[in-house]
Amino acid sequence: MKTVDTREVAAWLDTTLQAARFKDYCPNGLQVEGRPQIGHIITGVTASEALLRAAIERGADAVLVHHGWFWKNEDPRVRGPRRTRLALALAHELNLFAYHLPLDAHPQWGNNAQLAQVLGLAPQYLADGAPAACGPDNLIWLGTAPGLATLGALAQRVRERLQREPLVVGEPDRPLGRVAWCTGAAQGMLADAVEAGVDAYITGEASEPTVHLARETGVGFIGAGHHATERYGVQALGDALARQFGIRVEFVDIDNPV
């Protein structure tokens, strides 16, 4: 089996995702150092115990995720589930790579880009080729939903393509023009989408104020699932890694209803 130096993989990921330009809620990049050579990587949404055990069972050298460890404002003590996860990684010399906002934002392999492909959304692009965006770090993408005339039709597309029941706020027959989307827990950015003049906003989760803001502004809101909207970026990044280095990369989906 072909292997590549762990530092080379880390450098390629950091550079490709421009990790240094983001002020994030967690460290991006190689979070836990394991074996010096990598030939098999497991990708997944979150570095949960279940994903680590799946990687160990498959004999992987590394895990690549969107949601890693060491989040700001977390209790830093190594105890309970944190101890179990870290002990598994260290005992089996697993490298843990995690990219949060850098993976959301990447114009080709990012969560927003990949969700657009899954849902058949058409991103709007600027003159320089960058996606039209708004909100913090330009994380909200703007575009249209070709062939879909109403909020209800968009909700049905989400239901079919993501295989889950979305939370929908707004009249199903609301005409659909401009659409905004940001995967994961981006319900707090609804106001930015409203300011951008969209008819509907898709994200993963909702909070109590989200419903009121959507109703009072008339902007349709779709909460399509945090996990469900963020399954695709890490898969695309893993495929790119496999092509770049000629190593084995395998996606494991640990189901999460949120």
CATH 3.40.1390.30 is right for the domain spanning 4-100+230-251:
yes
Cβ contact 17:104 at 8 Å: no
**Residue ranges of the domains in the chain?**
4-100+230-251, 105-229
pLDDT tens digits, 30-56: 999 999 999 999 999 999 999 999 999
Q: Is 40 annotated as a binding residue?
A: no
Q: Is 208 annotated as a binding residue?
A: no
CA-wise closest residue to 31 among 66, 56, 1, 3: 66
In this prediction, residue 1 carries a pLDDT of 83
Cβ contact 42:252 at 8 Å: yes
139 burial level (CB within 10 Å; 0-12, 13-18, 19+): buried
Q: Is 165 annotated as a binding residue?
A: no
Contacts of 20 (CB under 8 A, 6+ apart): 14
Q: Is 92 annotated as a binding residue?
A: no
Taking all residues of the chain, what is their mean pLDDT, rounded to a whole number? Answer: 97
Q: Is 67 annotated as a binding residue?
A: yes
pLDDT tens digits, 194-251: 999 999 999 999 999 999 999 999 999 999 999 999 999 999 999 999 999 999 999 9
Rounded to two decimals, the pTM is 0.96
CATH 3.20.20.70 is right for the domain spanning 105-229:
no
